Chain A
Amino acid sequence: MSEGGPLDPLARLGERIDKARAERVRRQPAAVNDRSALQQGLGLGFRIGIELVVAVGLATGLGWAIDHWLGTRPWGMIVLFFLGVAAGMLNVYRAVARISTPAGYRRPGEDGVGTRGAKDAWDDDEN
């Protein structure tokens, strides 16, 4: 594993692994894509379901608490309920906008995020 061994067998092994990987992707590209899409979709589904509920519930609770302290019943609760709905929808929108094309927000692919370059830099760092 360390520097002791000759580099040649290492390089050959690397080549063989790369070839085998390429072969596998070539043979069943759809399955690989499907799995990662499924994983992403499931992750997203589990994320956004609760996002809206918690935002509305928490904001309304906060409004109720503010009313309780300041005696502004029912205005704090009403205002914060709508703010909570808006915040929840905004969070859901942002979560979803990362896959489809967003209006006004950067996609993960831009600005060096999620590009091949970052990955390569990581691999280089390791060696």
Chain B
Amino acid sequence: MAIELHPLEQFTIEPLIPIHIGRLDLTYTNSALMMTIAAVLITALTVLATRRAALVPGRWQSIAEMSYEFVADMIDTNIGQGGRQFFPFIFTLFMFILFANLLGMIPFSFTFTSHIIVTFALAALVFILVTAIGIARHGFHFLSLFVPHGVPKVLLLLLVPIELLSYFIRPFTLSIRLFANMLAGHTMLAIFGGFAASVGFFAFFPTAIDVLLVGLEVLVAVLQAYVFAILTCLYLNEAIHLH
């Protein structure tokens, strides 16, 4: 593969297997390929690592157990009662984003979380699920989420729109945060890589910065998956327990 000199070239979607059903374009792209790889790896990790489960876990079993306990802890501290039933959803979400971000750190791979449509689909899924659960659990009472209590009636005219806005903005903040962080980080890496390729003798400096940035990017990759999962927990908590 040629060295990409344009910093945004790494985000190009390339069709691999064209699939057209009727008017639907379901072409299998490099983005979909990475999603498949992520899903396969997660399944492999959780299934294979625990297939021969030992009392004293080996390396792979340890990884699987640690990720399980990490998410379980997150749910316990953020949702508490009644949060356990959402474990599969949040675990899947967390692992999928984590693997997406980390797989993206491998040179010449593709980071599908750097595409807003992917992160927005995930965030919209969370948003719809949270709203549906809130309405299913509390019915009409769910709307009390938008009415802060102990407030004079006149102020409600102002506060209810603010609350509504802050609620409906969630899928956007959730998706833009993940997408912007991944996009910015990978673009920055590519820009410094481009510097290194173009300055010849002084290439040491941008390369050194790139090495540091890779470390930062790994941190961001893990942290963004964590933030996405923990916000899902917080939103679910609000829908389940209502303020």
Is B165 a contact partner of A83 (Cβ separation < 8 A)?
yes
For this complex, into which size category does the number of interface residues on chain A fall?
35 or more
Q: Which one, B22-30, B89-97, B188-196, B222-230, is touching chain A?
A: B222-230
The reply to whether A43 and B230 contact each other, CB–CB distance below 8 Å, is: yes
**CB of A24 within 8 A of chain B?**
no
Contact B81 A112 (CB under 8 A): yes
Specify which chain B residues have a CB less than 8 angstroms from the CB of A115 in the assembled complex.
Answer: 80
User: Is the C-beta of A69 less than 8 angstroms from some C-beta in chain B?
Assistant: no
Could you tell me which residues of chain B, from 102 to 150, have a CB within 8 Å of some CB in chain A? Answer: 148, 150
| Chain A hits for B81, CB < 8 A | 112-113, 118, 121
Contact of B76 among A1, A43, A105, A118 (CB under 8 A): A118
Interface of A is mostly: helix
Are B80's CB and A46's CB within 8 A? no
Residue in B closest to A120 when the chains form the complex, CB atoms: B76
Query: Is A113 touching B80 in the complex (CB atoms < 8 A)?
Result: yes
Q: How far is the CB of A41 from chain B (nearest CB, A)?
A: 11
| Docked pose: A4 CA to B142 CA in angstroms | 49
Closest residue of chain A to B180, judged by CB?
A50
B45 at the interface (CB under 8 A from A): no
Instruction: Report B209 CB to chain A, min CB distance, Å.
Output: 21
Q: Are A55 and B166 in contact (CB under 8 A)?
A: yes
Residues of B with C-beta under 8 A to A87: 162-163, 165-166, 169
The distance from the CB of B137 to the nearest CB of chain A, in whole angstroms, is 15
Q: How far is the CB of B231 from chain A (nearest CB, A)?
A: 7
Is residue B55 within 8 Å, beta carbon to beta carbon, of the partner chain?
yes
Q: Are B166 and A90 in contact (CB under 8 A)?
A: yes
Known A43-B223, A54-B172; contact A86-B72, beta-carbon cutoff 8 A: no
In the complex, residue of chain B having the shortest beta-carbon distance to the beta carbon of A56: B169
Q: Does A58 contact B (CB under 8 A)?
A: yes
Nearest chain B CB to A82 CB, angstrom units: 9
Contact B176 A111 (CB under 8 A): no
Q: Is A6 interfacial (CB 8 A cutoff)?
A: no
B50 to chain A, nearest CB (A): 10
A47 near B231: Cβ-Cβ < 8 Å: yes
Q: Which residues of A contact B150 (CB under 8 A)?
A: 104
**Closest approach, in angstroms, between the C-beta of A71 and any C-beta of chain B?**
21
Given contacts A59-B165, A122-B72, contact A13 B78 (CB under 8 A): no
A113 in contact with B243 (CB, 8 Å): no
Known: A46-B227, A55-B165, A91-B166. 6 other contacts (CB 8 A): A43-B227, A86-B165, A87-B163, A113-B79, A113-B81, A113-B241
Offer 19 A-B interface pairs, CB within 8 angstroms, sorted by A.
Answer: A43-B223, A46-B177, A46-B227, A47-B227, A50-B176, A54-B169, A54-B172, A54-B173, A55-B173, A59-B165, A83-B165, A91-B166, A104-B150, A113-B80, A113-B237, A118-B83, A119-B73, A119-B77, A125-B84
* Contacts from A to B (Cβ < 8 Å): 1, 10, 13, 39, 42-43, 46-47, 50-51, 54-55, 58-59, 80, 83-84, 86-88, 90-91, 104-106, 108, 111-115, 118-119, 121-122, 125
Chain B interface residues (CB < 8 Å from chain A): 53-55, 72-73, 76-81, 83-84, 148, 150, 161-163, 165-166, 169, 172-173, 176-177, 180-181, 219-220, 223-224, 226-227, 230-231, 237, 241, 243
Q: Which 5 A-B pairs have the closest CB atoms?
A: A113-B80, A87-B166, A87-B165, A118-B80, A114-B77
